[in-house]
């Protein structure tokens, strides 16, 4: 179990009320932001301390890994400069009966603040620009003691979630389906007089049609399992369909053939590949889980060479999909 501190001054009501955390993937200038990258390291069973307007007001139990989601409409004008697509994590919050002000307990909290990426200044004032940052265990223990009864109950629930539900995505598929359906409507409108184009793009979304035929020109087996029977393999976009241009959606080099287990892990960002073929696993995916899925990391140090174009798509997957914080 990890512990996190989230600053929700602008969006507390929406995030706590809606049961989630949401952040952009990058700053407005497309630069990386450590406090958004941390979203990729959150896992079911982690505890979150929700800070708003000088007080810890709620404590949450993480219910999912991060997944891609458009900026919530309910944010309204809050953070209008944020990118439109970001990371979302499902969280079960408990609002505190007695919210507390950390600045009033700095004699206890101050010595426990990390030297880097602290959620507060040493004088107890908030830090602009911090969204989600790790709370070291000694700091988390103090916060739990200050939060009272709700925190103890949340900690117990967190241990249960972590033990029984290692990889949860309760809302991710619903969010993605609605998102892609909206994109599909836009494609149909853009090409309303080109039925063949619409057909090819729609089939590509499902890994079928001209896209699948083109992928088979480059891929002949699952990169992880070695299975060669294409009838049981899924044709997966490397750069997700929802992020691709229409040309990229039917580009055979934007695809891999994967067995169902490997396809799920790759699509969710649990595994990925370097351009040279090295196998990568997200920190949230344990070696034991990979073994149970017949994906032994020891036997998959390298899955073979990719084309230059495939390597470019894989770079997008590592940068925007793989659940592993950069740096």
In the structure encoding, which two tokens stand for residue 73, read together? 């409409």
Structure confidence at residue 186 (pLDDT)? 92
Q: What mean pLDDT do residues 40-56 have?
A: 92
Tell me, what's the pLDDT at 169? 63
Spatial distance between the Cα atoms of 156 and 158, rounded to a whole number of angstroms = 5
Model pLDDT, residue 58: 95
Q: What are the sequence ranges of the domains in the chain?
A: 3-164, 179-320
How far is it, in rounded angstroms, from Cα 194 to Cα 317?
Answer: 30
Residue 77 has pLDDT above 70, yes or no: yes
Query: Among 36-40, 112-116, 197-201, 286-290, which is the least confidently predicted range?
Result: 286-290
Distance of CA 299 to the CA centre of its chain: 26
> Which of the listed CATH numbers 3.10.590.10, 1.10.3720.10, 3.40.50.2300, 3.40.50.720 matches domain 3-164?
3.10.590.10
Lowest mean pLDDT among 153-157, 268-272, 276-280, 286-290: 286-290
- To the nearest 10°, report the CA torsion of 194, 200, 204, 209: 170
In this predicted structure, what is the pLDDT of residue 57? 96
In this structure, of 139-143, 197-201, 294-298, 308-312, the range with the lowest mean pLDDT score is: 294-298
3-class SS of residue 290: helix
Rounded to whole angstroms, the Cα distance separating 199 from 159 reads 47
pLDDT at 144: 92
Q: Quick one: tokens of 183?
A: 């994109």
What would the pLDDT profile of 218-228 be if each residue is shown by its tens digit? 999 999 888 99
The rounded Cα 285 to chain-centroid distance in angstroms is 13
Angle at 318 between CA 312 and CA 319, to 5 degrees: 90
SS (H, E, C) 186-204: HHHHHCCCCHHHHHHHHHH
Q: Which of 31-40, 128-137, 169-178 has the lowest mean pLDDT?
A: 169-178
Distance CA 285, CA 269 (A): 10
User: 229 pLDDT band (50/70/90 cuts)?
Assistant: very high
Q: Which residues contact 296 (CB under 8 A, 6 or more apart)?
A: 290
Spatial separation of the C-alpha atoms in residues 231 and 222, rounded to whole Å: 11
Predicted local distance difference test score (pLDDT) of residue 176: 82
pLDDT exceeds 80 at position 326 = no
Per-residue pLDDT averaged across 196-216, rounded? 94
Task: Calculate mean pLDDT across residues 283-306.
Answer: 78
Ranges of H-type helices in 26-171:
34-37, 106-109, 137-147, 149-164
pLDDT bin (cut points 50, 70, 90) of residue 121 is confident
How do strand 55-62 and strand 47-52 relate by DSSP bridges?
antiparallel
Distance CA(96)–CA(148), nearest Å, equals 8
Across residues 120-127, what is the average pLDDT?
A: 84
The number of beta carbons lying within 10 Å of the beta carbon of residue 176 is 19
pLDDT tens digits, 236-258: 999 999 999 999 999 999 999 99
Q: Is the model more confident about 1 or about 203?
A: 203
Distance CA 53, CA 251 (A): 49
């Amino acid at each position: 179990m990890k512990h996190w501190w989230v600053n929700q001054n602008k969006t507390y009501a929406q995030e706590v009320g809606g049961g989630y955390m949401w952040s952009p993937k990058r700053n407005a200038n497309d630069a990386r932001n450590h406090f958004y990258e941390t979203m990729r390291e959150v896992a079911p069973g982690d505890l979150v301390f929700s800070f708003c307007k000088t007080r810890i007001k709620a404590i949450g139990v993480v219910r999912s890994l991060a997944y891609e989601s458009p900026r919530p409409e309910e944010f309204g004008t809050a953070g209008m400069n944020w990118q439109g697509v970001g990371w979302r994590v499902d969280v079960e919050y408990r609002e505190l009966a007695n919210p507390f002000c950390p600045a009033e307990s700095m004699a206890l909290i101050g010595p426990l603040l990390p030297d880097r990426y602290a959620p507060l200044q040493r004088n107890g004032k908030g830090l602009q620009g911090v969204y989600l940052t790790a709370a070291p265990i000694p700091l988390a223990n103090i916060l739990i003691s200050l939060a009272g009864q709700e925190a103890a109950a949340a900690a117990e629930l967190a241990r249960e979630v972590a033990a029984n539900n290692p990889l949860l995505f309760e809302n991710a598929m619903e969010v993605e389906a609605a998102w892609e359906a909206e994109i599909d409507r836009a494609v149909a409108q853009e090409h309303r007089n080109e039925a063949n184009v619409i057909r090819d793009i729609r089939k590509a979304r499902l890994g079928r049609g001209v896209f699948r035929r083109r992928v088979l020109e480059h891929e002949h087996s699952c990169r992880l399992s070695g299975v060669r029977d294409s009838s049981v393999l899924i044709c997966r976009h490397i750069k997700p369909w929802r992020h691709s241009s229409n040309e990229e959606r039917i580009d055979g080099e934007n695809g891999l053939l994967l067995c169902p287990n490997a396809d799920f892990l790759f699509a969710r960002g649990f595994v990925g590949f370097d351009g040279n073929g090295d196998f990568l696993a997200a920190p949230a995916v344990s070696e034991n889980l990979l073994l149970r899925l017949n994906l032994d990391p020891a036997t998959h140090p390298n899955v073979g060479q990719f084309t230059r174009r495939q390597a470019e798509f894989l770079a997008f997957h590592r940068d925007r999909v793989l659940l592993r914080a950069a740096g």
